[in-house]
Amino acid sequence: MSTVFLNGNYMPIEEAKISPLDRGFLFGDGIYELIPSYFGKMVGFQGHINRINDGLNAIGIELNWSDAQWQELCDTLSKKNGAGPLGIYLHVSRGTDTKRFHAFPKNITPTVFAMAFEIPVPKTPDLATVGKGYALISSEDLRWKRCQIKSTSLLGNVLHFQEAYAAGSQETLLYNSNNELTEASSSNIFIVKEGVIATPIEDNQILPGITRRLVIDILAKDGSLSLEERVITLDEVNAADEIWITSSSKEIVPVTQLDSKVVGDGNVGLVWLKAATLYSKNKFSY
Ligand code: PDD
């Protein structure tokens, strides 16, 4: 039975109760984070906390927790849930209103909920054991125009993820109406062509993924691979030698099939191996 945090108290998940008038429930009016934690050590903690603060500011939720408060919550949740490999989920909604009304209520206290659930321990990157890589489908990105906000209103993402799931694929790669790559329904995307790695720029069309940022920083520090942040066309995606997806729970996953075609030669690529190895060695330094 997992222990969760709700509005200042730790309790068994079965005891956590939220009003149906909570704006998170009624409107998806909130911000969330998912921080990977392995045996008590978090990956990218500061980046995740900066992003939750950015999201709260962007939608006008005043919570004003210090970094130390978040750290204490994450550490306590990890300990209370066995301190193994955990995804620490943080969720702040605007709070519980007295009626259903779209405008922000005055003097409302945000609802703070957090839980921890088991995630797989990432394997040491290895071509012999990595398996086949993911199969993705592609689809026009039909979400909203503020994808940089990690909003709990995830219906657009859910519908895109479901498209992949229903097709027996692992993710949906998304492109905008100009046929430019954005991201995937719950991950960021990188492509590789002739040894050069590229990923879409951080703008309103993508979530500024913490894993994406760590990959960019770790590769820049190492200096042996070249990486560009730029606009990427769907044609480039289709002609890529390698495609990877990144997220906190998945780290860097190679993609070997896109729609009905194989990616590159159909095998997991050597640039992935190098990048994933560097990531795996350096991720705890951030
Ligand atoms: N998803 N893009 C989207 C739309 C995402 O939902 C996520 C993360 C990412 C990757 O971000 P990060 O590297 O910070 O995890 C990109 C999380 C894990 C989720 O919704 O469960």
Cα–Cα dist 191/18, whole Å: 42
Q: pLDDT by residue (tens digit) across 114-125? A: 999 999 999 999
Q: pLDDT by residue (tens digit) across 161-172? A: 999 999 999 999
- Checking if the pLDDT of 196 tops 90, the result is yes
- Checking if the pLDDT of 286 tops 90, the result is no
Nearest CA owner, ligand 1 atom 4: 186
- Checking if the pLDDT of 96 tops 90, the result is yes
- Summarize the confidence of residues 189-193 as an average pLDDT: 99
How many Å lie between the centroid of ligand 1 and the Cα of residue 250?
A: 10
Query: For ligand 1, which residues put their CB under 6 angstroms from it?
Result: 34, 157, 183, 186-188, 207, 209-212, 246-249
The fraction of the chain above a pLDDT of 90, given in percent, is 98
How many Å lie between the centroid of ligand 1 and the Cα of residue 147?
A: 11
pTM equals 0.97
Of 113-117, 127-131, 267-271, minimum mean pLDDT range: 127-131
- Summarize the confidence of residues 147-169 as an average pLDDT: 98
Residue owning tokens 């820049």: 220
How many Å lie between the centroid of ligand 1 and the Cα of residue 248?
A: 7
Residues 6+ apart with CB under 8 A from 72: none
Q: Kindly report the average pLDDT of the chain as a whole number.
A: 98
Catalytic residue among 106, 145, 150, 193: 150
> Rounded to 5 degrees, what are φ and ψ at 87?
-95, 120
How many Å lie between the centroid of ligand 1 and the Cα of residue 263?
A: 23
- Supply 227's token pair: 């990486």
User: Which ligand 1 atom is nearest residue 150's CA?
Assistant: 6
Q: If pLDDT is split at 50, 70 and 90, which confidence band does 1 have?
A: confident
Whether 150 is catalytic is yes
- Checking if the pLDDT of 175 tops 90, the result is yes
Q: pLDDT by residue (tens digit) across 202-241? A: 999 999 999 999 999 999 999 999 999 999 999 999 999 9
Q: Provide the greatest CA pair distance for the chain.
A: 58
* Of residues 73, 67, 68, the one with CA closest to residue 112: 73
Q: If pLDDT is split at 50, 70 and 90, which confidence band does 195 have?
A: very high
Q: How far apart are the first and last CA of the chain?
A: 31
236-251 residues labelled b (16+ CB within 10 A) or e (exposed): bbeebbbbbbbbbbbb
- Checking if the pLDDT of 84 tops 90, the result is yes
3-state class (DSSP) for residue 132: coil
Q: Do 160 and 207 contact (CB within 8 A), yes or no?
A: no
Complete domains list, the chain, with CATH: 3-118 (3.30.470.10), 134-285 (3.20.10.10)
Q: What's the alpha-carbon Rg for the chain, to the nearest Å?
A: 19
